[in-house]
Structure 1
Amino acid sequence: MTRKRPTSTLRWLLLGCAFALLAACATGPRISTDSDPRADFSAYRSFAFYSPLAIEREGYASLVSGRMKAAARAQMESRGYRYSENDPDLWLNINAYMQQRTDVSSIPDVDYAYYYSYRARGYVAMPYWHDRTTVHRYTEGTMNIDLVDARRNALVWEGIAVGRVSRNLDAAKRDAGIDATIADIFAAYPHRAGSRTPVE
């Protein structure tokens, strides 16, 4: 039996902690979606997870990927879709990753230089203007949920959540954050199983 590299396990732990904060930001993550205008969503009634799942590219399921799958399955089933590994209408795939970002901002600022004035018989302040630059580094997390037409093997809907993340979370907050982020993504999914009319 071969053991997985510690770096793989550590990466999954950091990933899980990070994505918990996607939903904990003051304004929540930024959600965007895209869909195939030719897709007939009324024809889709069942789903299963794509194999191999993008978040399980190390070759095994983790606690984080298991939580993401459970949250996504709950969202699909709440919309009337039936889970069917044998003959699904839709494949559901999940991907998540982190990137280091840098914000650089400059604002005008004023400082003062002092010189002795013999006319005023004292020190005089002279303002001088300059730009004050600040550099802020942060971690940005992205989570994708893809729905793929199983018969055509074609992407029909994609939801993406992007937000700043933090790694300092316990397991309960991590899981709550994952659930909330996936709920935010599916809140932008306008379809129910077998329905021709999108949900407003």
Structure 2
Amino acid sequence: MTILHRLSRVFLPFATALLLAACATGPRVSTDGSTEADFSRYRSFAFFEPLALEDSGYSTLLSEQLRAEARRQMEARGYVYQPEAPDLRVNLNAFVEEKADIVRVPEVDFGWYYSYRARAYVAVPIHRERAELVRYREGTVNVDLVDAREKRLVWEGVAVGSAAGRTPAERRERAARAVAAIFEAFPYRAGAAAPAAR
């Protein structure tokens, strides 16, 4: 095995780490909102009971952390938490999927041939790629804002990113940061018809 071949074996874990680090820099956030909703009417909020991610019918450590982050984000925008007769109901969902990507790693090796012109053996570089399968976990967090009176979705945000984490607490913290990233894209404040200036 040549030195370059050995170096390529060292390079593969490094390339994989770079790929996963790129996924870990922050979630990809997408949002959508109703053009017909009158956001100036919305001043209070509450949560759906149970939340979509509480499909077993009870709260979990994850659902409590996401609920707390969503409440903090809504109150920071002037919305008042009001369990009885709120203007908006907030629903939260989260799930993790196993994913796989093909990572192509460049390799360089050398072939030797005898050159009669140079009267010596000459090294010729041989370029090729090696494909490696990389498995990882991708998490998705959804935030839905629903007009409580009309029972109609008026705004939603979705964050997709790496679900890596050594401990359950780290994974919950990453999911809570995804909720915060979603709300960074929420353009309204309580009682305001026009989106807030950024």
Q: In which range does the TM-score fall when normalised by the shorter chain?
A: 0.7 to 0.9
Post-superposition offset of 1:111: 2.1
CA contact (8 A) 2:101 2:135 kept: yes
Could you tell me the TM-score, scaled by structure 1's length?
A: 0.76
TM-score (normalised: structure 2): 0.77
- Cα 1:175–1:139 change in 2 (3 A) is closer
Residue aligning to 1:126: 124
Q: How does 1:50-89 map to 2 (within 5 A)?
A: 50-89=48-87
Q: Displacement, 1:175?
A: 5.3
CA RMSD of aligned residues (A): 2.5
Contact 2:107–2:130 (CA<8 Å) still a contact in 1? yes
- Corresponding residue to 1:177 among 174, 192, 197: 174
C-alpha separation between the residues in 2 aligned to 1:106 and 1:178?
A: 30
The corresponding residue for 1:46 is 44
Distance 1:145 1:196, change over 3 A: same
Shift in Å at residue 147 of structure 1?
0.3
CA gap 1:136/1:86 in 2 versus in 1, 3 angstroms? same
1:44 is displaced (CA, Å) by: 1.0
Q: One-letter code of the match for 2:174? A: G
Identify the structure with bigger relative contact order (alpha carbons < 8 Å, sequence gap 6+): 1
Distance 1:92 1:45 in 2: 13
| Rounded Cα–Cα distance in structure 2 between residues aligned with 1:87 and 1:177 | 32
Q: Which residues of structure 2 form unaligned runs of 5+?
A: 1-21
1:113-148 per-position Cα deviation (integer Å, ceiling 9, x unaligned):
224567766543333333332332211111110001
Give the Å deviation of 1:178.
4.0
Identity over the aligned pairs, expressed in percent? 52
Aligned partner of 2:184 in structure 1 is 187
